[in-house]
Copies of this chain bind each other. A is one copy, B any other.
Amino acid sequence: MAQLEGNCLIGQSGGPTAVMNATLAGIIEEALNYEFIEEIYGCLNGVVGILNEDFVDLAAESQQVIRGLKHTPGAALGSCRFQFTKPADYERALEVFKAHDIHYFFYLGDSDSMAMLDELDTYAKADGYDLRIIGLPKTINNDISGTDHCPGYGSAIKHVATTVKEIAADNAAIGEGDYVSILEVMGRNTGWIAAGAALAKRRDFPHDPPHLIYLPEVAFSEEKFIEDVKRVLAKEKYCLVVVGEGLVDEDGNFITLTSGATDAFGHVQLGGTGEFLRRIAEERIGVNARSCKLGIAQRSATHCASKADLDEAYMLGEEAVIAAVDKGETGKMITLQRGESDSYKAETGLSDLSDISSASKALPIEWINEDGVSMNFPFVKYAQPLIQGKVEVPEENGLPVFAKIKGTRVERQLGSYDL
């Protein structure tokens, strides 16, 4: 493969994760290995930063910052939910790339972003501009197709399952067969995160929490919930419930106490299922009930991140660069694949961007037990390797120290663009 000289651009999009900056660090550190990649730029706030020509010089960042990114939550370059929607956006992007001699573009995002990258690849090819585009999956929701799992998911469920074990120890001390504890977790369309709480339940320990997991994959019935809780409380001192924010009824409508506000993209702003179940438990079962809602804490808890997840996130960054630079790949998403051996080992692969489904990758229904509120062993076998190991986050004054990029601005070459 002939060396393609030029500059490199990196962007981050969507909801951040605990390990999204580890991927960024992996890209930067690998790209620094190639002398024919002269500049390593970051675009601020994802593709918005391309259209606005808001670039920062990542090669100018200190080693300390790059090292610190490996355990810094959030998206150091800023994120966005914006996608290119019209031909002019793609044309502007190519114009900006040409102005800055960008020939490598690495972009972290969800399924929506992969579709956009695919379109951008098409534009570049039609234009004859030599651009190598690699998408990098990231989401705690684990719902991107084409990859065995998504960086960010392992850390999110390690945090959720750890929290289940911890609040269970508390619940066990105060419950007397009359106590319901509810943990609401994220997951708009799929139950991947709520399912991950099942890792807290050890094999052959049927009394272990979580006792009940409510997933959007299983239609919710208030009467069944009441029966479920009563059944658990008949034999346990407390009933620990995990519920996803995206609970749906038999008609597929979201169940929530909130007013149905929508975000900038028309997504229903969920939340409130925990409080919803708490009220049913108190009012219809007559027990004490408490709820917790981890919210954004579950996607940013580097202090409880999975080392396996973090290492994979970093590796994806490195391998994306190798694929584009050494192997001349473009129009691909770098993926995690499970090796064939009995012991888990993540390997990287590549999927065509055009093959990435816009639909959420479903949690396999066959991994949900018949009771509808617990996960079976194949799920545990799938998820357990993803939460292994602890991440050492340095502390100062008793609190984690995070990296912040200096963000030296790259001079604009073009006029402004109307988003």
Contact = CB atoms under 8 A, between A and B. Distances in A.
Contacts of A399: 158, 161-162, 165, 199-200, 387
Copies of this chain, complex-wide, total 2
Interface in A173-217: 173-174, 181, 183, 199-200, 202
A301 interface: yes
Given A16-B173, A172-B74, A167 B398 contact: no
Best-surrounded residue of A161, A388, A398 (most CB of chain B within 10 A)? A398
Given A74-B173, A296-B171, A303 B166 contact: yes
A78 B169 CA distance: 10
Interface string A390-407: 100001011110100000
Contacts of A200: 399
Interface stretch (A123-131, A285-293, A356-364): A285-293
Nearest to A169: B74
A300 B397 contact: no
Given A398-B389, A399-B162, A399-B387, A72 B173 contact: no
A292 B293 contact: yes
Contacts of A174: 15-16, 75, 78-79
A304 B304 contact: yes
B170 A16 contact: yes
Nearest to A77: B173
Given A398-B199, A398-B387, A399-B162, A299 B170 contact: yes
A293 B296 contact: no
A215 to B, nearest CB: 20
A302 interface: yes
Best-surrounded residue of A172, A199, A297, A395 (most CB of chain B within 10 A)? A297
Contacts of A162: 303, 399-400
Nearest to A299: B170
B73 A166 contact: yes
A261 B290 contact: no
A224 to B, nearest CB: 23
A182 B282 CA distance: 25
A263 interface: yes
A354 interface: no
Contacts of A389: 395, 398
A296 B240 CA distance: 12
Contacts of A390: 395
Contact of A400 (B166, B181, B299): B166
Contact of A170 (B74, B165, B167, B384): B74
A139 interface: no
18 contacts: A16-B169, A18-B166, A73-B169, A74-B170, A77-B173, A78-B174, A161-B399, A163-B301, A165-B399, A165-B402, A166-B301, A202-B397, A264-B288, A292-B293, A292-B297, A303-B304, A384-B398, A387-B399
Given A290-B296, A304-B304, 14 more contacts: A76-B173, A162-B399, A166-B400, A167-B300, A169-B300, A170-B300, A202-B397, A291-B293, A292-B294, A293-B295, A384-B397, A387-B398, A387-B399, A389-B398
